[in-house]
Every structure is written in structure tokens, then in C-alpha cells.
Structure 1
Amino acid sequence: MKNRDWRSIDESDVRVRPSRGTRPRSKRRPEHADAVPALVTTVDRGRWSCAVDAQQDREVAAMRARELGRTPIVVGDRVDLVGDTSGRPGTLARIVRVAERSSVLRRTADDTDPYERVVVANAEQLVIVTALADPPPRTGFIDRCLVAAYAGGLRPLLCLTKSDLADPSELRSAYAELEVPTVVTRADRANTELAEALHGTVSALVGHSGVGKSTLVNQLVPDADQRIGAVSAVGKGRHTSVAALALPLPGGGWVVDTPGVRSFGLAHVTPEDILTAFEEFAEAAEECPRGCGHLGPPGDPGCALDSIVTEGNGSHGRLLSLRRLLASRAGIAG
């Protein structure tokens, strides 16, 4: 080359090495055949605590793998882990897969907030914890939690606490038409009925601060305080009242303790989401005028749901309960 006249050299004589930035990226991704399945138990500042399926008391700190990008991962998600899954202090695994969710409990800050917050994934039950006194029960909050449960694919369970302070009969009767299962508890007695209702399931507890939710968790999971402390020591995490936490039940199943909330926004819920839980009225709703809110007269004079009751195919009490939930979702005081 050095003996040749530079004027006789063309582009075919020059070998150009492509820059690293122009190399085509491979679309192939590792299969991670050796990944370990786990359940996300808590989330804190870019770190996830996960319980390995084969040994539920082994808490593994994990980070999200780069190939997942910004894939959201919440408490209750089923994930696959690679890397160091020993759970030893200072170790960190990677979450490489997130399974499809079977249910999602969502809420918004209020009814005008477009941003949905996923509270927990894959829960089978939503346990709505309400005190019968101190603080007094708020049926509007219960209704909104029911709406969120129906919209998210969870079975609702109403848990009435502090029955030593007030009679639960009136509140139970208010939800009889909705056929919502109810358990009644008190702090000075073993809550066997509640434990049986949660056995073998993944259940999320939701309620206002002060209703006795923490007391229930401590009764259901005797070493809850120790487990919370162990999770707090993993990675960067710490469990406080602002974070959800999944705890294994001694007899099988999981209970997810969610932070106390003041409001349950439903900006993400449509009337159709609620109607799916009322099969006897869902089909008739298709005959309603466009834009019908299904609340009945005077606001929705052409609502077809009343015809179901008239024809004897649905109860008047169920229709009133449905419309109460729809009104709650619309932010209309009952």
C-alpha cells in the first residue's frame, strides 16, 4: 500500500470499521431457563423484595432487568428471578419476567385524577375492613371499595371490626342484597372465621386508618412484626404505612396489608365495569340510550334496567344496590 500512489486508491481499498453505535442490535434475548419463580412482597425505591416459591420465608432483594425496561412491577406480581437468589445480606437478584396478571386492584387519588395507582396484583379477594365504631363506618367508602373490586376482578369480603362496641346487624343488612360475604371480629377474641375465609387465597386488606387492620394482620400472622423487620433490612427497603406488604399465612395463602387510605378514587372505572358483576342487568344495559348512566329517573329516564325488575328477572333491592354503587363511582352522594 505504501508504494502505491494515493491518487490510484479508491473506496474499495479502504476498510471502514463500523462504530459501536451503528451495529445492529440482536433481537434475541436470553431464555433464562434456570429462572426461579417468586412472588413480589413489597416495593421500595427501585428495589423489590420477593419470596421464592420453594421457600416462602426466604426474602430475596431484586432489581428490574434491563430488558424489562420500565415494565411496572407491584406487590402480588408473579416474577422470575435470576442471579443470586440466596437471600443473603448484600446480594441482589434480577427480575427477568413478569407473569400476566389475573386481577388488579387500582385506585386514583380522586375522581378527577387520570393517573391510576396499582395497589396489588393477582389478589383473589379484597377484604374491606370497616370498624363498627371508633371510627364510625362510612358506607360510601365501602361502596367505592366494592366498585374497585368488581372492576379489578376480585371477590369482595366485608370485615366488620370492633363488634364489642356496636351491633353489626344494620351494616350487614345494608349489603345483604349485594350478597357480599361478611365476617365480624373483635380484638379480644380469636378471629377463626376470618382466618378460614382467607385460607389458601391471596387476599388484600384495605381500610381507613384506625379500623383495626394492623391488629387483624398481627392475629393472622403471629410473627408479622418480625417479618416486616426482615423485609425492611433487605436491600434499600423499609416497610412503613405507605407501602403494601404481602405476608404468608401460617395455614397457606397470603395476606397483603395495604396502607390506610382516606379516599378511593375511581376515575379509571366505567359503569360497564360495575355492571359485569350484575349479570341479570348487564345484558339489559345494552338497550339503554347512549350516554345512560344507569341511575334511573330523573337523570336517566330511558334506562332499561327497570324493565328487568318489572319482568321479574331481577330484584328491586339488587337494582337499588347497583345504582348506589354507580352513584358512588360517579361521585354522587347517596
Structure 2
Amino acid sequence: MSPRRDLDEDDVRVRARPGSRPRTRTRPTHADAREALVVGVDRGRYTCWLDDREVTAMRARELGRKSVVVGDRVALVGDVSGGPDALARIVRIAERRSVLRRTADDDDPYERVIVANADQLVVVTALVDPPPRTGFVDRCLVAAFDAQVDPLLCLTKADLAPKDAADEFRQHWAALDLPVVTTRRDEEPTELEERLTGRMSVLIGHSGVGKSTLVNRLVPDAERATGGLSAIGKGRHTSTSAVALALPGGGWVIDTPGVRSFGLAHVSPASVLAGFPDLAPGAADCPPNCEHRSAEEGCALDAWVEAGHASPERLASYRRLLESRSDLG
């Protein structure tokens, strides 16, 4: 039997409680972090382009709820070797030069960030199969102006359409300084490539218009999935996530999943009107708080159109967009 001894505080074992660890407000500076570009997002993992290689990363806890999207410029720490089992951490997100957003519908309050830091929004529209829609292009133009991103209209499948189809469709924006390129399935998209080189461009359009086909021709090793139309005449969704791909001549092209709608619930009424620069100057003669619904309510846009400053079709498109947003208050 061992001799009895007095006990003191050193003999007491206390189990640490969760959160009892001393905390400090001092955060690491990560001075050795490496700057990279986010080129893909998939289930909480981020593919980043660092120098000449792809690096897989996760968000660091200190980012809080800040979202990371394709096009973001980020700072990486940890294993940036790019090996198959390597995993880096994103510790900072650089200030975004531009943010392109959309909502699912005009009454959906939840906005989705499509891409960050884009220079150019390429609205891809087929001239046939599926047929072109001026309203969809107008919506994309509003989003581009709101994000301060240069718009570019790309008309595909010209070889399948009537000879004058492209000229007739582009007349809808004749009053705008809107650049337009036309592509054919039997020719290389040389003009489009020239307009994309050296820039960060995001392609957006309905499913089946040929976005991924264009990307595969612009970036030969892209291997983006392509598909035609379904039996009910709607495009199949072939791209499932946005991805940025390096162009051979410099710059990046971002392919996005096909969309069936482009909601603008996040855009203010003033910004919607700014997205119609051929109509906006005519609103100067409108009464205060004019909702631009009709001439009977005092709207001056009808007189602006009658004077030849804009087309009736553009005014009708603008008012259709206003009507779709009428539930927003």
C-alpha cells in the first residue's frame, strides 16, 4: 500500500470545453500568398490558375460568407504545387472590377453572380434552331450596362438561316453602337476570336445556340460537351457549370450553362432605362416619377420614338420588361 500524500491543484484534471481556447483578433497576413485566377467552381472546390498550372483550393475560414466565383482574383496559401492530392486555401479575394449578375426570374429576390472581373459579355444567339429572341438580348444588354461590361452580340448558325436573317435581326439595335459578329458552322470564328483576344469574356445564351461549339473551336483542347435540340424544340443543357479557358492568343473565355431566362430583379428601374440608351434621353421630358407605361400617363418616350430617335420595337421591348417587373413594386 502506497503512503498517503496530500493532493494539490496539479492533481486535478479539467477537461477543456469547446471554445475555451484563448482567441486573438490578430489574423495572419499571409504575406507569402500567391495570386491566382479562379477558373472553375465545383462543390466547394475551386480550380485556380497559378502561373502555368491548375491548383485545387478551398475557402479559408477567415473569408466568412464571402462567395468565390469564376473570374475572381484570389490569394492562395498552402500546397500550390498542383499535384493530384494537393489542396491550397483561398485567404483573400481581390476587389472585383465588375460583377455580372442575374436572377432566375424578374420576381426572384435571389441574385446569382455569373462571373467576376469580366470585360465583355458575349450574348450568343442562334439565327435558327432555336429562333432568336430580341427580348432576351435586350435583357442581357441591360445586365451588361448595369455591370459596366462591354456587350457583344454573336449570331450563330448563319449557314442555316435565310440570307438576310442576320441583317434583319441586328436592325433591332441599329440605333446603338452594338458590335455584332456572325458565325457559320462551316467556317472558323475568326472575327469573334479577334474580339475576344486579350480580354476576359463571358458567353451567355439559351441552350442549343452553339456556345460550347464556339468554345471548342476557339480553344481546341477545351472538350466542352455539345448537344442539339430536344424533341420539344428546346436546347439541351450541355454545359453544367461556368468555366474559364485560356485563349491561344491571350485572354480568357468563360463558357456558362445555357439559360432559359435572364431575370433582372436586382437591377434598379433607372438602370433598366439606362440599358436602353436609345430611349433614355427621351425620358428627360417625362414628368417626375414617370413610370414610362404610356403616353396617356404623360410619358414622353412615345414622342421620342415618333420623332425618329428610336424604333417602336425597342420601346415595346422596354415596356414588356417593365411589365414583367411590375410585381417588384
TM-score range, shorter chain: 0.7 to 0.9
Structure-2 change in CA distance of 1:325 and 1:42 (3 Å): farther
Gaps of 5+ in 1: 4-17, 228-239
- In the alignment, the residues of structure 2 paired with residue 320 and residue 147 of structure 1 have an alpha-carbon distance, to the nearest angstrom, of 16
1:281 — aligned with what? 280
RMSD: 3.0
Aligned partners of 1:79 and 1:182: how far apart in 2?
Answer: 33
Distance 2:75 2:106 in 1: 35
Q: Structure 1 pair 269/111, CA: closer, same or farther in 2 (3 Å)?
A: same
1:327 aligns to 2:327 (yes or no): no
**1:197-251, Cα deviation, whole Å (9 max, x unpaired):** 1111100000111111111001110111299xxxxxxxxxxxx722100001111
1:303 aligns with 2:296: no
Q: Name the SS of the counterpart of 1:328 in structure 2.
A: helix
**Alignment correspondent of 1:216:** 214
Map of 1:248 onto structure 2: 246
Report the Cα offset of residue 297 of structure 1: 1.7
Q: 1:305 to 1:30 in 2, by over 3 A?
A: farther
Match of 1:79?
74
Q: Alignment length, in residue pairs?
A: 298
Instruction: Give the counterpart of 2:64 among 53, 60, 69.
Output: 69
In the TM superposition, what are the counterparts of 1:263-278 in structure 2 within 5 Å?
263-277=261-275, 278=277
Amino acid at match of 1:179: D
For 1:145, the equivalent position in structure 2 comes to: 140
Distance 1:129-1:169 versus aligned 2 partners, 3 A rule:
same
| Structure-2 change in CA distance of 1:19 and 1:163 (3 Å) | closer
Structure 2 unaligned blocks of 5 or more = 7-15, 226-237
Asked whether 1:99 is paired with 2:101, we answer no
- 1:41 positional shift: 0.7
Label 1:286 to 1:22 Cα distance change in 2 as closer, same or farther (>3 A). farther
Question: In the alignment, residue 187 of structure 1 is paired with which amino acid?
Answer: R
Which residues in structure 2 correspond to 1:171-250 (within 5 Å)? 171-225=169-223, 241-250=239-248
1:102-141 matched pairs, under 5 angstroms: 102-141=97-136
Secondary structure of 2:295's partner? coil
Quote the offset at 1:45 in angstroms.
0.9
Asked if structure 1 preserves the Cα contact closer than 8 Å seen for 2:72 and 2:116, the reply is yes
State the partner residue of 2:231: none
Counterpart position of 1:15: none
**1:65-88, CA deviations, whole angstroms, 9 ceiling, x for partnerless residues?**
111112111111111111111111
1:178–1:318 contact (8 Å) kept in structure 2: no
* Alpha-carbon distance in structure 2 between the residues aligned to 1:120 and 1:169: 30
CA–CA distance in structure 2, aligned partners of residues 226 and 76 of structure 1: 18
**Alignment match, 1:13:** none
Note the alpha carbon deviations across 1:285-320, whole angstroms, 9 max, x for none. 596422x2234423xx3335568789x9xx621796
One-letter amino acid matched to 1:103: S
For the 8 Å contact 2:121–2:201, the answer to whether it is kept is yes
State yes or no: 1:34 paired with 2:32: yes
Following the alignment from structure 1 to structure 2, what is the Cα–Cα distance between the partners of residues 196 and 248? 14
Instruction: Output the TM-score relative to the length of structure 1.
Output: 0.80
2: CA distance, partners of 1:287 / 1:44: 48
SS in 2 for 1:130: strand
1:100 CA displacement:
1.4
Deviation at 1:32, TM superposition (A): 1.1
CA distance in 2, matches of 1:307, 1:22: 71
Report Cα offsets for 1:97-142 as digits up to 9, x if no partner: 1111111111111111110011111111110101111111111211
Q: How far apart, CA to CA, are the structure 2 residues paired with 1:23 and 1:33? A: 26
State the Cα deviation string for residues 33-57 of structure 1 (Å, max 9, x = none). 11111111111111111111x32xx
TM-score with structure 2 length normalisation?
0.81
